[in-house]
Structure 1
Amino acid sequence: MSHSFKETPHNAITDSGIARVIPCRQLSLGDPVKWLALAIQDMKRAPLNTIMYGVIFALIPWLITYLVATTGWHLIIMPAIVCFMLIGPFLAAGMYDVSWELQKGHKPSMAHSLRAMKRNAVNGWGFGVVLLIMMVFWLRVASLIHALYPPYLDETLSDLWPFLILGTAVGVIFSLILLFISAFTQPILMERKVDLATALLTSVNAVWLNKLPMLFWAGIIFISVVLGFLTGFLGFIVLMPLLGYGTWHAYIDTIETKKPRNYV
């Protein structure tokens, strides 16, 4: 599956003298739509893998919700989310492997995609820890905002709006940070034997140099997640593999290699 050549922009991080990163290409605003189209093709070519991964991603939030509803123990949410943040990158790697195998002209299998999770496992776990730390910090900031709410105020919109605006602003900031550090990190770690710092900085650089296309892609992800929740998590059966395959094609389209990828 070919990807058109794109102009290579300057490397923002290298130019600043902070670090060396893998170069990226200049994206266009319509590229995220192309990634989705390629993802749909992968879904059609590997329906069994798609359904299996989709069911897994749909079951995880459903199981968390079910446990909370049946036990009434809301504290279970934290350990459940912690587990998901740690294993999430590895589950995503399995989906990336499906698209990668299709690009190579191979027939993807669950056994092969599960083995793919072992590639660069140490740095993969490190990435999970980074996501976990960010999530905990985000929750602590949210708790602080909630603590600042005066108990004597009524829960009316006029009283709540300052805190809603503050909470939304903080959520947007954390979401943008998450986009920068996670957009391409896991696919890089999966395909290349690089350290976590290189993968993270490469992702940050690529998003920074392609702000509008990546914001468009982030919007697609956000809408997909909302739809998944609105459908009682059933939508995740289709939406999560779609986003997973699309992320792989976004990576292939964006991050350069020294030599062309000649899959045989």
Structure 2
Amino acid sequence: MTAMSETEAQAGTRLPGEEGSGDRLPGARPEILRLDPGDLRYALKMGWQDFRRAPGWGLFFALIYVLGGWLVVWALTTQGQFWWTLPAAAGFPILGPFIACGLYEVSRRLSSGRALEGRAILGVIFAQKDGQIPSMAAMIVFYFLFWNFFAHMTFALFMGNVTMTNVSQSLEVFSTPPGIALLVFGTLTGAAIAALLFALTVVSLPMLLDRDIDYVTAMLTSFALVRENPVLMLGWGGFIALLLFLAMLPGFLGLFIVLPVLGHASWHLYRRAIDWPGDETPVTEP
């Protein structure tokens, strides 16, 4: 982990007071650090460690995510639109950063040795007086809705009035030239849409939890981090997408492990990646 300027990084954050995220530190101009694979390994190691230290909270927030997934599948299936569960499930990880806000607060408290107070953790999203996290959450939800709208429009553009009614017909549809074109175009554009959201949110929500800044600044800082570490960060995004995909295969049950670990890891990656002038607590080296 090296800084982009001559000043050595002093990553890490201090935690004033005992009132949860309502006592965020004043914002300042952050310094974006250059990362290496060791930083990602460190974040994952700390994510697993935090999950082991507070498994109840990890399972609780994962349960919310899993129940949401089951609800989406049930709603589409009962409406005879089972095949639309595929793009919906592919876009479901878009909501992950918002669901993980409570996990960021758990990691923040564990890092400082503070009590895991239920009221502070559960109310972390609405504890801010200026509502920056809810504003960010609204943007993420809008992005998710756009994802599903885009999937429907893309299918209509390439396939017209084709109806997906059974497995054999659907497989035949995707083996036709329009079906192949749909898969290629949908995969490439879907990956681009997901990559953009990842770049805007990879550290922005932990930053909003930690600092008194607006969500636009947080998103721009997050995007700048990905721009300065493109290969590493996009690889990290792909790794997250793969883990979430595999975790959703067994009826979303794998998310009970994957989501808490990745949520906690995101907090620690934020601490490794962003340096705030004046911080005195360095991040422990792995």
TM-score by length of 1: 0.81
Alignment pair present for 1:146 and 2:164: no
- 1:128 corresponds in structure 2 to 137
Residues 224 and 239 in structure 1, CA contact (< 8 A), matched pair in contact too: yes
* Aligned-pair CA distance for 1:110: 2.8
Alignment pair present for 1:217 and 2:216: no
Provide structure 1 residue ranges, at least 5 long, that are not aligned to the other structure.
1-5, 11-19
Alignment pair present for 1:7 and 2:2: yes
Residues 98 and 140 in structure 2, CA contact (< 8 A), matched pair in contact too: no
CA deviations on 1:43-69 (whole Å, 9 max, x unpaired) are 111122122222222222123223444
Structure (1/2) with the larger strand percentage: 2
C-alpha distance in 1 between matches for 2:153 and 2:161: 17
C-alpha distance in 1 between matches for 2:131 and 2:207: 14
- 2:173 corresponds in structure 1 to 155
The aligned runs of 1:1-264 (5 Å cut-off) are: 6-9=1-4, 22-69=30-77, 71-72=78-79, 90-120=98-128, 122-151=131-160, 155=173, 157-159=175-177, 160-262=179-281
* Aligned-pair CA distance for 1:238: 1.0
TM-score by length of 2: 0.75
C-alpha distance in 1 between matches for 2:228 and 2:160: 45
Q: Which amino acid aligns with 1:157?
A: S
C-alpha distance in 1 between matches for 2:57 and 2:117: 7
* 1:157–1:206 distance in 2 versus 1, CA, 3 Å: same
* 1:167–1:39 distance in 2 versus 1, CA, 3 Å: same
Q: Which amino acid aligns with 2:79?
A: G
C-alpha distance in 1 between matches for 2:135 and 2:161: 44
Residues 31 and 213 in structure 1, CA contact (< 8 A), matched pair in contact too: no
Query: Percentage identity across aligned positions?
Result: 27
C-alpha distance in 2 between matches for 1:261 and 1:244: 25
Residues 142 and 167 in structure 1, CA contact (< 8 A), matched pair in contact too: yes
C-alpha distance in 2 between matches for 1:257 and 1:146: 45
Secondary structure of 1:149's counterpart equals helix
CA deviations on 1:128-169 (whole Å, 9 max, x unpaired) are 222233333333333332222255997252412122111111
CA deviations on 1:173-213 (whole Å, 9 max, x unpaired) are 10110111111111111101101111110010011111122
Residues 36 and 243 in structure 1, CA contact (< 8 A), matched pair in contact too: yes
Q: Which amino acid aligns with 2:185?
A: L
Residues 21 and 201 in structure 1, CA contact (< 8 A), matched pair in contact too: no
Residues 39 and 243 in structure 1, CA contact (< 8 A), matched pair in contact too: yes
Q: How many residues align?
A: 244
Secondary structure of 1:25's counterpart equals strand
Q: Which amino acid aligns with 2:254?
A: G
C-alpha distance in 2 between matches for 1:225 and 1:90: 15
C-alpha distance in 2 between matches for 1:152 and 1:243: 40
C-alpha distance in 2 between matches for 1:61 and 1:22: 36
User: Structure 1 segments of 4 or more deviating over 4 A?
Assistant: 84-90, 150-154
Bigger shift: 240-249 or 105-114? 105-114
* Aligned-pair CA distance for 1:24: 1.0
* Aligned-pair CA distance for 1:252: 0.6
When the two chains are superposed, the root-mean-square deviation of aligned CA atoms in Å is 3.0
CA deviations on 1:15-60 (whole Å, 9 max, x unpaired) are xxxxx96321100023222211111111111122122222222222
Q: Which amino acid aligns with 2:175?
A: L
Secondary structure of 1:129's counterpart equals helix
C-alpha distance in 1 between matches for 2:2 and 2:193: 30
CA deviations on 1:64-95 (whole Å, 9 max, x unpaired) are 223444x43759x8xx99xx999865532211
Secondary structure of 1:24's counterpart equals strand
C-alpha distance in 1 between matches for 2:94 and 2:234: 25
* 1:135–1:56 distance in 2 versus 1, CA, 3 Å: closer
